[in-house]
Amino acid sequence: MDRAATAEKIAELIGPFNKKGIEVTDAITFAGDLEWDSLTVMDFVAAIEDEFDIIISMNQQAEIENYGQLVDAVTKLQG
């Protein structure tokens, strides 16, 4: 799956977690813009891992601060 298709699918997965209706762009941050707590992040990561059949390590999660970084990481993990 290319980056654009991956980005589209991740944007769909964000929907139920996007309580504020923030526009999804590469620059939105999970903690700042979307105001997600750690439990929401863990639920979202689980949804991403299930959808793409990948594992995002805790070290990788710590480095991902915004949507664009997440899309790049998922695209890379799909290899």
Residue 27 belongs to domain spanning: 3-78
- Please report which residue ranges of the chain form alpha helices under DSSP H: 3-14, 38-52, 58-63, 67-78
When pLDDT is cut at 50, 70 and 90, the band that residue 23 belongs to is very high
Q: Work out how many domains the chain is built from and give that number.
A: 1
Total Cβ atoms within 10 A of residue 26: 12
Rounded Cα distance between 61 and 40, Å, is 13
List phi, psi (to 5°) of 37. Answer: -90, 175
Q: Which CATH number does the domain housing residue 60 bear?
A: 1.10.1200.10
pLDDT at 1 over 90: no
Inter-residue contact 41 to 70 (CB < 8 Å): no
pLDDT at 6 over 90: yes
